[in-house]
Amino acid sequence: MSEFMLGVLLGTVIGTFAIHRYRSSTFRLERRVKKHQLFTAECLMTRGQMERRELWKDRHVDPAMMDVALCRMKRDGMVEVHREVPEPGNDAPLELYTLTASGKTWAQNLLA
């Protein structure tokens, strides 16, 4: 077997492995985002509105994944964000999340 053919074969094997690894990591990421969307939908359906820091209090919640889930839900029009003036001594404004009408039907279908 020539060196060229050996290089092509090796490149094909490495490329196939890289594609498989990328797809499986993307699948895991999507699964984690869906889990956090489900958690957010459940919390918002029971409480009506929540502040982002309240969503982070659960020890099973990854704050980065929660931010990704909230951004996707906001992008898809499922969640509205209301920013309120910060309390004295607190620099960060409160971000209250509420479900929109389409978000409520989505959450009801998801939780049913």
Please spell the DSSP secondary structure of the chain, one letter per residue: --HHHHHHHHHHHHHHHHHHHHHHHHHHHHHHHHHHHHHHHHHHHHHSEEEHHHHHTSTT--HHHHHHHHHHHHHTTSEEEEEEPPPTT--SPEEEEEE-HHHHHHHHHHH-
23 Cα distance to chain centroid: 17
Inside any domain, residue 9: no
The pLDDT value given to residue 24 = 65
Query: What's the CATH number where 85 sits?
Result: 1.10.10.10
- Read off the pLDDT of each residue in 12-18 and give the average, rounded to a whole number: 67
Q: How confident is the model at residue 112 (pLDDT cuts 50, 70, 90)?
A: confident
Inside any domain, residue 12: no
The pLDDT value given to residue 13 = 65
Task: Specify the pTM.
Answer: 0.65
pLDDT in tens, 46-75: 888 888 777 777 777 888 888 888 888 999
Domain limits for position 87? 33-111
Inside any domain, residue 11: no
Q: How confident is the model at residue 18 (pLDDT cuts 50, 70, 90)?
A: low
Number of domains in the chain: 1
Inside any domain, residue 16: no
pLDDT(22) > 80 = no
The pLDDT value given to residue 31 = 83
Nearest-angstrom CA–CA distance, 74 and 78: 6
Contact 14, 83 (CB under 8 A): no
Tokens matching residue 85: 């003036």
Inside any domain, residue 37: yes
Which of 69, 65, 68, 66 has its CA nearest to residue 55?
66
- Read off the pLDDT of each residue in 90-108 and give the average, rounded to a whole number: 85
Tokens matching residue 46: 């029971």
